[in-house]
Amino acid sequence: MSLEVTAGKTPSAARLRKQSWYQRPRFKRLVAMVVTAVVMAQVTGVQGVRNDLFYALEENFTGTGIWIWLGIFLAIWAVREFFQDWARQALARVKAAAAPLPEDGTAKAAPGGLAGQVRRVADGGRRLSTLFRGHRAYQAGGLGALLLVLIMLPLMVSTFWQQVMVDQIGMFLLIAIGLNVVVGWAGMLDLGFIAFFAIGAYSAAFWTGGLPVEPPVELNNFLVVPIAVLTCLIAGVLLGAPTLRLRGDYLAIVTLGFHEIVYLTAKNWTEFTGGTRGANSDRFSLDLGFWSYEWGLDPAPYYWLQLAFIIGVLFLFLRLEHSRVGRAWTAIREDEVAAASTGVDTVRFKLLAFAIGASTSGIAGVIYASKLGFINSEMFLVLMSVLVLSYVVFGGMGSIPGVLLGTAILVWLPEYLRDTVDAQDRYMYLGGLLVVMMIYRPQGLWPSRRRQRELRMSQEGTGSADALGAQPGGAQG
């Protein structure tokens, strides 16, 4: 009899477990999609105007954009919730087509249609990669071809893009290579890296007689390069020596403070630096007696000069990566305590990382100041330090090709967006891209194998992927 009574009701434990309709994942995903659509409508909507706070909001909520975005995101939601099997099957078909054919001769001829296309492309890619991996001659040939393309590049693009390549991409590449040593290899968090770039640029202006103060001797720009590198090395050691005791986050804020102090000094010590009004700097010139050349306003010669510097730095740094020093940095990054206990002089190697990293910024600073012929304090904002760190992580820190690729793409993107979207919104898209990239591909565009393994281990809950200590929120299953 008692059974009959309870049969009609749900048992209490089950009732507790039961979710209301608004707690179901499906509904939560719907809400997420609607919110994303609304945000996207704001992102792609009109610009705000002066004296009417609600103009842009009103336009974006009543215009057609929001309906288009709602349509797109509701369609994604519907496919995901109700046609998941179908979508998964389609994906599996494409994957099967791209998989390598069995090698025992039973392979069927590639089917026609889309699947055949995918298979042919995938096979071609695989053949190409085995070809390159196997033979040194092909590797050298590939590198040579790449170099040739890089040398020819300024001849193929407009002056605007030549300027972008020299003033922005090339400059940030040099800086990013240096920052990669500090962040990617030694695993220290540096949020003030552009300070060294500023020091390099100001030493260029100082030694070529551009600053309000007179230098002891005026030097040729090429001679300034080693001096600037040396100055940055010293600055790196001066910053590093008192702060290297600090752990990741403390180091980050201290380096940020260092940058702010350098920036404010450049801005306010007008008797020395010229402040916001700026200072002039000489351009590069070469006089060998029998042949002389002066770099003028044309960006292309600067491009080749910069390329030469980048290749030189790359040559040195690639050798550094697997040297004794590079391995010591890896050890420090993966586990500082273990490294110290096996005899790695952690303080010395960390200082070395700081100094060597800073040196490339010195080169970049000299080239930048010489190219523009003018510098002022507003070229070295704190935001740039933050940006350049995100370039390095975006590309895949610790991996030189990744860092180069990531920096080139992220510097190129805002310039490219200049014509396609409202120029003021460029950095909004950049920020959005960073967030999406970090969620879906945290290892970066082209990670080094070693870092990828560290990341995988940290996902599984063993080891840490950087020298910053524990993971956020701890290891969660």
Partner 1 sequence: MSLSDSWDVLVLGLVLGSLYAVIAIGYTLVYGVLQLLNFAHSEVFMAGGFGGVIALTIVEPAVDPSGMQSAVYVLLGICAGAILGGTIAFGLEKAAYRPLRRRNAPRLVFLITAIGASFFLYNLAGKLFGRYPIAMPTMYENKTVFTVFGTRVSITQLIIVGAALVMLAAVDVIVNRTKLGSGIRAVAQDPEVASLMGVDIDKVVSRTFVLGGLLGGVAGFLFGTNLQVEYTMGFLPGITAFAAAVLGGIGNVRGAVLGGLLLGVVEAFTVEIWSDAWRYVGAFAVLVLVLMFRPTGLLGERVGRAA
- Give residues 429-448 in contact with partner 1 (rule: CB under 8 A): 430-435, 437-439, 442
Site string for partner 1, 361-380 (x = CB under 8 A): --------------------
Per CB under 8 A, the segment of 104-112, 119-127, 300-308, 451-459 that binds partner 1 is 451-459
What is residue 90's three-state secondary structure? helix
What kind and span of H or E run contains 53? none
Q: How long is the chain?
A: 477
Check if the beta carbon of residue 74 is closer than 8 Å to that of residue 92: no
Does 238 sit near partner 1 (CB under 8 A)?
no
Closest by Cα among 83, 359, 69 to 234? 359
Does 476 sit near partner 1 (CB under 8 A)?
yes
What kind and span of H or E run contains 50? none
- Give residues 392-431 in contact with partner 1 (rule: CB under 8 A): 393-394, 397, 422, 424-425, 427-428, 430-431
Does 316 sit near partner 1 (CB under 8 A)?
no
Q: Which residues contact 76 (CB under 8 A, 6 or more apart)?
A: 33
Task: Give the C-alpha distances (Å, rounded to integers) separating 139 from 126, 135, 145, 312.
Answer: 15, 6, 10, 19
Does 189 sit near partner 1 (CB under 8 A)?
yes
Q: Which residues pair with 374 in a beta bridge?
A: 280
Contacting residue, 9, 50, 136, 449, with partner 1 by CB under 8 A:
50
- Give residues 93-132 in contact with partner 1 (rule: CB under 8 A): none
Number of residues in contact with partner 1, rule: CB under 8 A? 77
Check if the beta carbon of residue 210 is closer than 8 Å to that of residue 392: no
C-alpha 389/C-alpha 434 separation (Å) is 12
76 or 455, CB closer to partner 1? 455
- Give residues 248-287 in contact with partner 1 (rule: CB under 8 A): 248-250, 252-254, 256-258, 260-261, 264-265, 267-268
Contacting residue, 115, 219, 382, 409, with partner 1 by CB under 8 A:
382
What's the min distance (Å) between Cβ of 65 and partner 1?
13
Q: Where are the alpha helices (DSSP H) in 344-381?
A: 346-372
What's the min distance (Å) between Cβ of 276 and partner 1?
10
Does 461 sit near partner 1 (CB under 8 A)?
yes
Considering only CA atoms, give the Rg of the chain: 28
Closest by Cα among 443, 166, 177 to 300? 166
Does 340 sit near partner 1 (CB under 8 A)?
no
53 or 297, CB closer to partner 1? 53
